[in-house]
Amino acid sequence: MTLQEYDYARESPSKLAASCLLLALTMKNLGGWTPTLEYYSGYRSQDLHPLVKRLNFLLTYQPRDKLKAVRTKYSHRVFFEVAKVTPMDMLKLEEILKNC
């Protein structure tokens, strides 16, 4: 979904990927940012928190009529319908991020 948003073009692809992973881990209750993830990604959990919050907020956007291709593609069951995932409550996300 960040492909369609100009604000995310300035983020490094590795930081964007790491932030997406942290958000996914948080949303699915699969644990937090481990020392192994920190070592191999090069990012501390605290470095990713602002971008994770922005990514979660991005999930609240309503799809634009002209830019439906990415959302439609990732709404298919082949891609596990990830475009249909509901965002986390921002207060709950903040609390979880404080603790990891």
What is the residue-level pLDDT of the chain in tens, covering all 100 positions?
888 788 899 999 999 999 999 999 999 999 889 999 999 999 999 999 999 999 999 888 766 667 778 888 888 999 888 888 889 999 999 999 988 7
What is the domain-level CATH number for residue 85? Answer: 1.10.472.10
Backbone torsions φ then ψ of 85, nearest 5 degrees:
-65, 135
Distance CA 46, CA 50 (A): 8
pTM of the model: 0.85
What is the residue range of 26's domain?
2-99
